A and B are shown apart, each in its own frame.
Chain A
Amino acid sequence: MIEDEKRIVRRFLSSEQGGFESLYDLYGLRIYRFCQRLCRNPSDAEDLTQEVFLAAYVGLHKFQGRSSIATWLYRVALFRWRRTSGAPSPHLISMEDASEKDMMSPDTASGELNRWELERAISRLPDSLREAFLLIKVEGLTSREAAEVLEIPQCTVKFRVHQAIVRLQKELQLIESECREVTGNEKGDGNRGVMAFLPGGVQ
């Protein structure tokens, strides 16, 4: 644990003025962001973030400093979310599922990804893959840190991230085809089909 983190934990636990603010300033956004993507709902994410910081208050004295505070907070968020959402134990992806056809990589997009479509695709991932993907690719944790959060071996994290990306590519392709079905158009073309009669200045 780096010195700053030790100092922040000490301040938080010793009732020093501004102790909570320091902890929240450092980790509030990250934890909320992670919670939001776990819950898929801003309101539930706020509740969960509150629970994480309350749990930190109650249980941070048990924090032994073997991992970073961030890792510890992520773990609290994850396990509380699993418990409150009634999520079953992590959905295990068998090696049989990772068949060769899954390795086929569709060309999901020609330009940059639409943020909303990516959010939707992520939300459709099985929980175990979504958790690993979010921690590594969105939160920027190393596979070792993610393994600590998820309490699984590092190699399993890597496997899940890979599986998540394979599935995301398929989901993105599916979403794109759904959009085409609705609009009757190619992606990004808003001048034909269903949308043709729409007023241009709709807000």
Chain B
Amino acid sequence: MKCEQVQQALCLPEESMMGRWRSLMANHHVANCQTCTDFQSNLGLIDRGAIGLRTVNFPVELRSHIAARLSTTDSAAGRISRASDASRQNPAGRRALTLTFAAGMIGLLLVANLHNNPANAALKRMQEAVAVVKNARTRLFSKQADGTLHQFEEEWYQQGKWRKEGDYGSRLIVGNTYWHYIVKEHRLVSMRETGVQRSEFSLDALTRGLMRANTHYTSQTLSEEKHGDSILRLVLLEPADEKQRDPNFRNLYWIDERTHLPARLEGQERHGANWAPTWRVEFEFNLQLPKTLFDPQHLSEGVTKVS
């Protein structure tokens, strides 16, 4: 038997359907072939590792999101029991709330139905302003069991570099290189980034993957709030198609009228007559950031304070 035949059989032993004679031949081959012995040894590690990958952080709120979307589909309402709503109260899926998701809401602007109204004009100006920022700091929050918001991630962007600090650990993305400090192993690793991590900061980059939603949105100004020297315009963004709207959820932007940059993005859930945040992203732009923030050698030191 050739190595390849033996190794293929080893990969799927329960399905190889080798007869007793061929099985003996394969065993004999492995016993006398260092290549196949090594292959079998490594295969065992990979098999055990693959089984270990069956445990994932399963976002609890996903059920309610799907249920909400199904309930807006024709005649689907009866298929969704209100039991699904209970999962909305469970914040355990906060890990799923990534910047991609949060910033993705910005991306909705790109497919927004831009009518000539003040809210849409503000969104359009914001889109242009974000594209030319020098740097950015974002802080991501999600709702805890007690209803309070917990910050689980903080990110900084500058000159094509992303620094991330939070529940996923300390990470740095420079071009297509991804650095990660593994606390438990006290080890710094870097590798070629093949996923969808970003090394640029623009609405287009932030919204990658969301464009497929192909949904049209409308916006309206809810209020204007004074914060220090700034006036923040509070803009409600919702699907143009009323069937796609969820009366119990809404997404809001706070846009700084002076800089045209977003100050906050928030998802809110209805509680009777009131609205309460379920997640939030806070933005700051054009800050003085220390160089060490983007130095992989300093990745393990964490971030204590950034002005």
Contact = CB atoms under 8 A, between A and B. Distances in A.
A75 to B, nearest CB: 18
A82 interface: no
Given A42-B57, A179-B187, 13 more contacts: A18-B81, A20-B66, A43-B104, A47-B212, A50-B65, A53-B70, A57-B79, A113-B45, A115-B49, A118-B53, A161-B12, A165-B11, A165-B46
A27 to B, nearest CB: 12
What 3 A-B pairs come out closest when comparing CB atoms? A190-B186, A15-B78, A105-B39
Interface residues of B, number: 76
Contacts of A107: 38, 41-42
Contacts of B57: 42
Contacts of A118: 46, 49-50, 52-53
Contacts of B79: 12, 15-16, 19-20, 57
Interface string B156-196: 00000000000000000000000111110111111110111
Interface in A158-203: 158-159, 161-162, 165-166, 168-169, 172, 175, 178-179, 181-183, 185, 188, 190-191, 194-195, 198-200, 202-203
Contacts of A20: 66-67, 70, 79-81, 84
Contacts of A24: 63, 66
Contacts of B48: 112-113
Nearest to A179: B189
Interface of A: 12, 15-21, 24, 28-29, 32-33, 36-37, 39-44, 46-47, 49-50, 53-54, 57-58, 84, 98, 100, 103-109, 112-116, 118-120, 122-124, 133, 136-138, 140, 142-143, 158-159, 161-162, 165-166, 168-169, 172, 175, 178-179, 181-183, 185, 188, 190-191, 194-195, 198-200, 202-203
Contacts of B35: 103-105
Nearest to A36: B56
Nearest to B57: A42
15 contacts: A36-B56, A42-B96, A43-B104, A100-B3, A104-B35, A105-B42, A106-B38, A112-B45, A123-B194, A158-B8, A158-B12, A162-B4, A169-B39, A181-B190, A202-B301
* B contacts with A: majority SS: helix
Contacts of A162: 4, 7-8, 11
Interface in B211-227: 212-213
Nearest to A182: B190
Interface in B198-253: 209-210, 212-213
A41 B195 contact: yes
Given A17-B81, A118-B53, A195 B300 contact: yes
A3 B274 CA distance: 46
Contacts of A165: 7, 11, 39, 42-43, 46
Contacts of B53: 33, 37, 115, 118-119, 122, 138
Contacts of B182: 116
B58 A50 contact: no
B42 A169 contact: yes
B209 A44 contact: yes
B187 A137 contact: no
Contact of B66 (A44, A54, A105, A120): A54
Given A105-B38, A118-B53, A198-B186, A43 B62 contact: no
Nearest to A102: B4
Interface string B1-34: 0011001100110010000000000000000000
A113 B187 contact: no
Contacts of A114: 185
Interface in B48-86: 48-54, 56-59, 62-63, 65-67, 69-70, 73, 75-81, 83-84
A99 B136 CA distance: 48
A39 B212 CA distance: 14
B50 A137 contact: yes
B15 A43 contact: no
B95 interface: yes
Interface string B252-290: 000000000000000000000000000000000000000
A31 to B, nearest CB: 10
Contacts of A179: 187, 189
B251 to A, nearest CB: 15
